[in-house]
């Protein structure tokens, strides 16, 4: 009776290690992987051995990174997941009609992950690769996801953050952020200005399946000097229409 529990614990630990490798911005030593995963060095070493054999980890000298098999899994998601496949035409149309970069994010644990992006004729001056994992408490897309979560989950995510410093230099308290989440719930969209990156603004809206379940967030992003108040007012209904149209075509989870 204890074998399934033991097997699941081992699997859970393996995902912890893989998560550390995926989130790292540079190769990590064995001791660093152990520290970030909260596991004993010997345990991490055994797990890395399996991940290396399966291609989910790679070794560079005495350091480790995520391996090419992780990329293959991501590709499989992009070409087979209905949401990802259905979203591409919507993002292309949104980028073409607005002149701004169109993106789509989904929740992964306590983060948001970019799973679709279409540049406009005026591309942004920075690159955000597909698969990038970002916090939920910065940016309209993240806060739209955060607004959907219950109070306990929100508290758990915000507790380590304390007062949040925006890219523009301002700080917001937990109370301020909770008020923003209430407004997002009420409005059905979010506007973000210089939160995660200085000089960048976005308009985002939730994508809901026909049963009301939040499945993703889509939006447009551009430089602050181009996204004036008048422009934002024009973009809000466009982004919301795109989100609603996509949501009606997304299969409901069984």
User: Is residue 76 domain-resident?
Assistant: no
What is the model's pTM?
0.81
| 146 shares a domain with 55 | no
pLDDT greater than 90 at residue 43? yes
Residue 4: pLDDT band with limits 50, 70, 90: low
Residue 2: pLDDT band with limits 50, 70, 90: very low
| 100 shares a domain with 62 | no
**What is the SS3 assignment for 169?**
coil
- Give the pair of three-digit tokens for residue 162: 């304390």
| 170 shares a domain with 58 | no
pLDDT greater than 90 at residue 190? yes
| 103 shares a domain with 53 | no
| 235 shares a domain with 110 | yes
| CATH classification of the domain holding 48 | 1.10.10.10
DSSP, res 251: P
| 147 shares a domain with 203 | yes
* Residue range of the domain that includes 180: 81-249
Q: Burial, 46: exposed, middle or buried (Cβ in 10 Å; 0-12, 13-18, 19+)?
A: middle
Residue 128: pLDDT band with limits 50, 70, 90: confident
% residues pLDDT > 70 (the chain): 97
- Average confidence score pLDDT of the chain: 89
| 140 shares a domain with 229 | yes
Total structural domains in the chain?
A: 2
User: Is residue 65 domain-resident?
Assistant: yes
Q: Do residues 59 and 184 lie in contact, with contact meaning Cβ atoms separated by under 8 Å? A: no
pLDDT greater than 90 at residue 127? no
pLDDT greater than 50 at residue 176? yes
| 130 shares a domain with 33 | no
């Amino acid at each position: 009776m204890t074998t399934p529990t033991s097997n699941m614990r081992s699997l859970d630990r393996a995902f912890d290690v893989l998560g550390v490798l995926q989130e790292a911005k540079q190769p990590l030593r064995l001791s660093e992987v152990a520290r970030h995963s909260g596991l004993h060095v010997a345990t991490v070493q055994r797990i890395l051995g399996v991940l290396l054999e399966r291609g989910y980890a790679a070794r560079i000298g005495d350091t480790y990174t995520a391996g090419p098999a992780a990329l293959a899994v991501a590709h499989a998601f992009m070409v087979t997941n209905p949401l990802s496949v259905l979203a591409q035409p919507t993002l292309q149309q949104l980028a073409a009609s607005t002149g701004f970069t169109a993106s789509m994010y989904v929740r992964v644990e306590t983060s948001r992950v970019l799973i679709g992006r279409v540049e406009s004729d005026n591309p942004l001056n920075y690159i955000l690769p597909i698969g990038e994992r970002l916090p939920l408490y910065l940016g309209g897309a993240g806060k739209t996801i955060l607004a959907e979560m219950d109070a306990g989950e929100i508290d758990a995510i915000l507790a380590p953050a304390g007062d949040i410093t925006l890219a523009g230099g301002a700080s917001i308290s937990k109370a301020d952020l909770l008020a923003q989440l209430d407004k997002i719930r009420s409005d059905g969209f979010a506007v973000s200005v210089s939160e995660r990156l200085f000089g960048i603004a976005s308009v985002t809206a939730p994508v809901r399946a026909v049963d009301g379940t939040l499945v993703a967030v889509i939006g447009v992003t551009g430089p602050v000097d181009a996204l004036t108040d008048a422009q934002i007012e024009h973009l809000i209904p466009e982004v919301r229409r795109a989100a609603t149209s996509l949501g009606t075509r997304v299969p409901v989870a069984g």
